[in-house]
Amino acid sequence: MNAIGVDVGGTKIAATVVTPEGKILNEVRYPTQAVPPNRLIETIAAAITEVKNGFEVGGVCLAVPGLILAAENKVIISPNLHEIENIPLDEEIGRRTGLYVTVENDANAAAWGEFRYGAGKDVEHQIFITLGTGVGGGVITHGVLLRGADGAGGELGHVTIESAGPRCGCGNHGCLEALASGTAIRRRAREVASDQPYSALGRLAIEREVLGEDVTRLAHEGDEAALQVLQETGRWLGIGLAGFVNTFNPEVIAVGGGAARAGELILGPARKEVQLRAQSPSRDTVEIKEATLGPESGALGAAALARGADGEYVLGPSKRVV
């Protein structure tokens, strides 16, 4: 049966009706900023009711950034969405919509979306990494979504790959996120621009703040300084991925998020580093590739998780039983 996946983010609330095959039948988007204070739950419920619009729907899953206690359908911590913390969302939104409602971490939902419909749709072992402002992750191993004891598992951006590396937003030093996120690209671009002021990157940095997409564009145009930034980023990414390859022996690593738009400029050096650092046979069988669903992965994965909502849900439904 169809299900509704809702991407609840700091910028938008996007509710989507999805078929079991992953086809999007209807979509509604509200800007999060336009939601009046204390109306977030009502707005999510309204988006669900509006998108449902006559479609037959079996359940809803919300994909929310932050720490989720899936077993209780609660958001424990969500830095930009405090309003929905510690509320039984199944009851509050279920009551308003008449639908069965569950909650999942947004990166886990996106990982599940890629696993069901995208880069990992033919495998049982997939890692998903999203390179955005931060680095998010989700792991599917033996067909099971890895949530861990409290639902906080899969935080792949926060493994130390350089013990005295740059400080991370989480407080640690040398996390993968501190070295291979969009934020890290901008920081490194400033440093390289300052070292190479006559490069295209250096000249742009004198005019205005350099964004991640500027680095990608200049690298595509052949600027050596911009290429260096992306190569270094890819190398750090590969150091992290090599550890995941040895830890999980996955068939596919799907890389998504804004910084992944640099494509081979980042993934090429990352693959090379994995070959240098990971063990056989894991390094030989793993396929490291771009995620295929783009920003829809969260809503698609959430819808797929909603569909599996039953007694087995907390353990992560296997692809074969969903």
Cα three-residue angle 29-30-31, rounded to 5 degrees: 125
Binding residues for its own copies (CB under 8 A)? 67, 76, 123-125, 139, 141-144, 146-156, 158-163, 170, 172-173, 236, 239-240, 242-243, 246-251, 276-279, 281-282, 285, 315-316
User: Residues in the chain, how many?
Assistant: 322
Q: Among residues 307, 306, 311, 305, which one has the least CA distance to residue 140?
A: 305
Q: Which is nearer to its own copies, 45 or 254 (CB)?
A: 254
> Which CB atom, from 187 or from 220, has the smaller least distance to its own copies?
187
Task: Compare residues 29 and 121 and give the one whose CB is closer to its own copies.
Answer: 121
Neighbours of 213 (CB within 10 A): 14
What are all long-range contacts of 204-210, with beta carbons under 8 Å and residues at least 24 apart?
210/186
State which residue, 182 or 240, has the beta carbon closest to its own copies. 240
User: DSSP string spanning 39-74?
Assistant: -HHHHHHHHHHHHHTT--EEEEEEEESSEEEGGGTE
Q: Determine contact, residues 189/210, Cβ cutoff 8 Å.
A: yes
What is the smallest separation between the CB atom of 314 and its own copies, expressed in angstroms? 9
In the complex, the smallest distance separating the C-beta of residue 159 from its own copies, rounded to whole angstroms, is 3
Residue 62: CB minimum distance to its own copies, A: 20
Minimum Å gap between C-beta 130 and its own copies is 15
3-class DSSP state for residue 3?
strand
For the four alpha carbons of 214, 220, 226 and 227, in that order, the dihedral sign comes to: positive
Smaller CB distance to its own copies: residue 24 or 152? 152
What minimum distance in Å lies between the beta carbon of 145 and its own copies?
Answer: 9
